[in-house]
Structure 1
Amino acid sequence: MAGVWFDELTVGQTFHHPIRRTLTETDNVLFTAMTHNPALLHLDEEYCREHTEFGQRIVNSAFTLGLMVGISVGDTTLGTAVANLGWDEVRFPKPLFHGDTLRVETEVLELRESKSRPDQGIVTFMHRGYNQHDDLVAQCKRSGLQRKKPKDT
């Protein structure tokens, strides 16, 4: 099990996730098409060259969010999560483009014992995604229900 038990987490603890991912045109177009998002910003290169400040297609922010959280799972919640409770304060201060590489850091913001589940607690993470130039491109708070370490281990 790769994840961390609730009672092994500390507020302020930061994970520098070793997995990085270079985003491809296929990633962006496939995700955008699979989610029925017709936005020209993700699909139409000519439109973007002529009508946007970016001059090229940008990566779908929903893909960026999912990838950022997904990269964090192995180090934080794999095998220890009960449920994802929500995402808050999702922000994309800069766009990602085809060929950019995403790296992710996660900070533990809050820990709260569950009142109804004595073997679990609620953790709030702040995920931050950066491109290869160390520009902040995405961030979100994520709350989850996390298992405590079993007494017999």
Structure 2
Amino acid sequence: MAGLYLEEFSIGQVFKHEIRRTVLESDNMLFSSLTYNSAPIHIDHDYASKTEFGKPLMNSVFTLGLIIGLSVQDTTVGTTIGNLGFGEVTYPAPVFAGDTIRCETTVLEIRESKSRPTQGIVTFEHKGINQHGAAVCVAIRKALMMKKPLN
């Protein structure tokens, strides 16, 4: 199992996830279409060419999902019960087709569940970083995690 159990995390622990992903125009079009997001800033090159960015922005919800996805192999795959929610999510810099995104995760808080004795809650900060080293998405996430099995 690649994911970690509750007891294997420590506050301040940092994961520099190895997997990176170059985002494509087709990712943006497909994600925007699947989620019915018709904002022209994502899907209309002519419209976007007249904005301060000069080209379409990647859908921010896609970017959020990507950085979480990039983190799971090292942290939660197979050991998470589920997401409990997100705190603040910010987008300090835009993401464009052709950018390569990586993720760093920091463990902010760990606590045992008050109602589930075999589980606990880990608060993560996930930071998406582009190929230039600029943060493009920062998200606080709480995940319900399994404790190590007793046997």
1:148 corresponds to which residue?
147
Question: Normalising by structure 2, what TM-score?
Answer: 0.98
Q: What amino acid is the match of 2:86?
A: W
Name the SS of the counterpart of 1:110 in structure 2: strand
Deviation by residue 1:3-22 (Cα, 9 ceiling, x = unmatched): 00001100000111111000
Unpaired runs of at least 5, structure 2 = none
Question: What is the Cα deviation at residue 32 of structure 1?
Answer: 0.4
Provide Cα deviations, 1:32-71, integer angstroms capped at 9, x if missing partner: 0110001000011111112x10000010000000011011
Alpha-carbon RMSD across the aligned residues, in angstroms, is 0.6
1:113 aligned to 2:112?
yes
SS state at 1:27 partner: helix
Secondary structure in 2 matching 1:121: strand
Which residue in 2 is equivalent to 1:71?
70
**Identity between Structure 1 and Structure 2 (%):** 55
**Distance of 2:58 and 2:117 partners within structure 1:** 41
Secondary structure in structure 1 of the residue aligned to 2:31: helix
Q: How many angstroms apart in 2 are the aligned matches of 1:74 and 1:48?
A: 35
Q: What corresponds to 2:100 in structure 1?
A: 101
Q: Which residue of 2 aligns with 1:26?
A: 26
| Alignment partners' CA distance in 2, 1:73 and 1:123 | 13
The secondary structure found in structure 2 opposite 1:18 is coil
Structure 1 counterpart of 2:128: 129
Distance, in Å, in 2 between the alignment partners of 1:43 and 1:144 is 32
Q: Take 2:134 and 2:111, find their aligned partners in 1: how far apart are those partners? A: 31
SS of alignment partner, residue 69 of structure 1 = helix
Q: Partners in 1 of 2:43 and 2:116 — Cα distance? A: 46
Deviation readout 1:104-124 (Å, 9 max, x if unpaired): 000000001111111111100
Could you tell me which runs of 5 or more consecutive residues in structure 1 were left unpaired when the two chains were aligned. Answer: none
d(CA) in 1 for partners of 2:32, 2:148: 39
Aligned with 1:2: secondary structure? coil
1:139 offset after TM fit, Å?
Answer: 0.7
- Tell me the secondary structure at the aligned position of residue 104 of structure 2: strand
Partners of 1:141 and 1:125 lie apart in 2 by 6
Structure 2: distance between partners of 1:117 and 1:38: 41
Alignment pair present for 1:46 and 2:54: no
SS of the residue aligned with 2:74?
helix
Aligned partners of 2:150, 2:79: CA distance in 1, in Å?
A: 14
